Amino acid sequence: MTEVRKALLDNQVQALTRMAMRRPALLSLALGALSATGFAPLDLWPVALACFALWMWLIHEAPGLRPALLRGWLFGTGHFAVGNSWLQHPFLYQDAMPHWLGYVGVLLAAFYLAIYPMLAAGLAWRLASPRAAGHSGTKPGLAYLLVFGAAWIVTEWLRATMLSGYPWNPLGVIWVPVIGIARIAAWTGTYALSGLTIVVAGMPILAAGRRWRAPAATLAILALLALSGIHREASRTLVPAGRPHIRVVQPNLDEEERPTPDYAENSLRALESLAGTPGAHPRLIVWPEGALRFFIEDGYPVDYYWNGSPVAIRRRIAALLGPRDLVLTGGNALQFDGAGNLTAGTNSIYAIDAKAAILARYDKAHLVPFGEYLPLRPLFTMVGLQRLVPGDIDFAPGPKPRTIALPGFGDVGMDICYEIVFSGQVIDPAHRPAVIFNPSNDAWFGAWGPPQHLAQARLRAIEEGVPIIRSTPTGISAVIAADGRLLDSLPLHKAGTIELPLPQAGAPTLFSHLGNWMALLVATAMLLLAVAFRRSPR
């Protein structure tokens, strides 16, 4: 009876293989597109795992390196076209370019980003597929999955660093809804977690080959980690009482996407209306990126101050504060050359106290190409490709991530918007902060961009063991604990505030000590294990 069941299973696997081989290129594209549903806001991570499993089977069965590379590239094209579909949204608010160009932009970005899954697939096929050695009919083994996982780690890290880097939606972020598994990133970091996810996704391939012990053990471990996360979520208190308070403001600025001439004043009034009342606890009031549209530094030509002097604006802000309160707000600064000509701006954070003094300023270091500056400006301007976010000048980058000591609140790390998605690059390693402030402006990025941004911020909190405070004009604003839990959040397109005691940092994690060296260590360990499994007797 057992032999009959094995024969039936073999027949089913062979039938599935024949069906897949009829249209492997089209199936790869479809699997890639469907796999993107594993990311926020859909969070269909089981679907993503199944898609990756079938895709890895297709790569294993490729008759040569070129077909393997093609299947990898097509999978990546579908994966990134759907996952990054929100990139089309900013074109709706940039009248200098046709709106349909947004769809072309999404596809062009996907064509480029698909190179990295293509390389991972090619490496896995070349190094671990029996067909590369001239054999056929051999089922995938654990060594193949380990090599694939290692290749994915390397190529995902390359995607995060090449050409200024674009690490949006690393595969490991699909585990954020299953927080117990996502917390593995405290040891491994995100890119290594992505590689481990590849191995987990491929376990059904082994089960199809009757190697059931490894898949069963893996599923049991994942279940225990998931249950552990649920238990910790339910049992741990939020934050201790008696600490200074954080007040997160989300004004839901309905003019954010298409500002009017009165936008700067309307925005400041919206922020003032949500400032609250000073109380017994010192408050760190945080405002979003892009919400304060007045220049508040002294020394600019008068024409640049619009309808409010910098001192007057700072005094309006200070009037909202108790004697121990501070405001952290996104804002902009200007840079001039020696002749007084405007040369660039900065995307900045300001700390303002109750005496209307600017205590500190941080300038964003990792700028967004085509959003905050235009690469090869003369060329792209000539062909009509201006910045996606309206503006006449480019931003200039500031120094690397910085920690600023704020009186009464301790050491606060600064990361503006997109900077928070760069694993291993969000804090000053020489000056570990107690909390990270991440003002962001996701108003242009539709319904998918903001929840994906939030999920990646939660992974940064887990990796570094540091809580993160996010304030955005239109959502999603949140207070994230050092272990990745959402202590509170405000949904999209809703005005409101969050006020909580300032969360505490956790102990430094292994990843916070080693950074992305962990990706190299895990990838190397996978390759060594793959060699060991291939040499061991079957």
Residue, of 269 and 222, whose pLDDT is higher:
269
Q: What is the mean pLDDT of residues 335-364?
A: 90
Do residues 395 and 497 share a domain? yes
Is residue 303 one of the residues assigned to a domain?
Answer: yes
Instruction: Please name every residue paired with 413 in a beta bridge, in sequence order, or none if there are none.
Output: 403, 436
**Domain co-membership, 398 together with 462:** yes
The structure tokens listed for 469 are 């405070």
Residue 26 lies in a domain: no
Give the per-residue SS3 of 77-138.
HHHHHHHCHHHHHHHHHCCCCCCCHHHHHHHHHHHHHCHHHHHHHHHHHHHHCHHHHCCCCC
Instruction: Please indicate, yes or no, whether residues 400 and 314 belong to a single structural domain of this protein.
Output: yes
Q: Is the whole-model pTM more than 0.75?
A: yes
Does the residue 7 lie in any domain? no
Among 360, 292, 376, 368, smallest CA distance to 331 is for 292
Confidence grade of residue 460 (pLDDT, cut at 50, 70, 90): very high
Q: Is residue 14 part of a domain?
A: no
Same domain (yes/no): 91, 226: yes
Residue 227 shares a structural domain with residue 252: no
pLDDT at 369: 78
Query: What number of CA atoms fall less than 13 Å from residue 468's CA on the CB side?
Result: 36
> Are the beta carbons of 503 and 465 closer than 8 angstroms?
no
CB atoms under 10 Å from CB of 213, counted, come to 9
pLDDT level of residue 209 (50, 70, 90 thresholds): low
Question: Is residue 317 domain-resident?
Answer: yes
pLDDT at 229 over 80: no
Q: 37-83: per-residue pLDDT in tens?
A: 999 999 999 999 999 999 999 999 999 999 999 999 999 999 999 99
Same domain, 215 and 284: no
Clarify whether residues 373 and 409 are in a common domain: yes
In a shared domain, residues 222 and 92: yes
Q: What is the mean pLDDT of the chain?
A: 86
More confident residue, 514 or 338: 514
pLDDT of residue 138: 73
Mean pLDDT of 149-155: 98
Integer-rounded Cα Rg, in Å, for the chain is 25
Of 409 and 446, the one with more pLDDT: 409
Weakest mean pLDDT among 37-41, 337-341, 381-385? 381-385
- Mean pLDDT within 249-268: 81
If one counts every other C-beta atom within 10 angstroms of the C-beta of residue 156, the result is 24
Confidence of residue 401 (pLDDT cuts 50, 70, 90): confident
Would you say residue 33 lies in a domain? no
Question: How far is the C-alpha of 470 from the C-alpha of 439, rounded, in Å?
Answer: 5
Confidence of residue 130 (pLDDT cuts 50, 70, 90): confident
Domain of residue 142 covers 45-235+517-535
**Matching residue, tokens 């190094």:** 127
Same domain, 291 and 388: yes
Mean pLDDT for the stretch of residues 254-276: 83
Q: What is the CATH number of the domain that holds 334?
A: 3.60.110.10
Number of domains in the chain: 2
Residues 480 and 338 in one domain: yes
AA letter at 244: P
Closest of 435, 494, 449 to residue 284, by C-alpha: 435
- Asked whether residue 6 is domain-assigned, the answer is no
Q: Per-residue confidence at 248, pLDDT binned at 50, 70, 90? A: very high
- For the four alpha carbons of 228, 144, 160 and 73, in that order, the dihedral sign comes to negative
* Mean pLDDT value of segment 378-387: 55
Find out whether 436 and 457 touch, Cβ atoms under 8 Å. no
Q: How far is CA 527 from CA 152, 180, 209, in A?
A: 12, 26, 22
231 shares its domain with 281: no
pLDDT above 60 (res 238): no
- Amino acid identity, position 252: N
Residues 369 and 499 in one domain: yes
Q: Is the pLDDT of residue 255 over 60?
A: yes
The reported pLDDT for the residue numbered 300 is 84
pLDDT band (50, 70, 90) for residue 9: very low
Stated as kind and residue range, the H or E segment containing 5 is helix 2-22
Q: What is the model's pLDDT at position 366?
A: 85
Instruction: Examine residue 12 and state whether it is found in any structural domain, yes or no.
Output: no
What is the separation of C-alpha 322 from the centre of its chain, rounded to a whole number of angstroms? Answer: 35
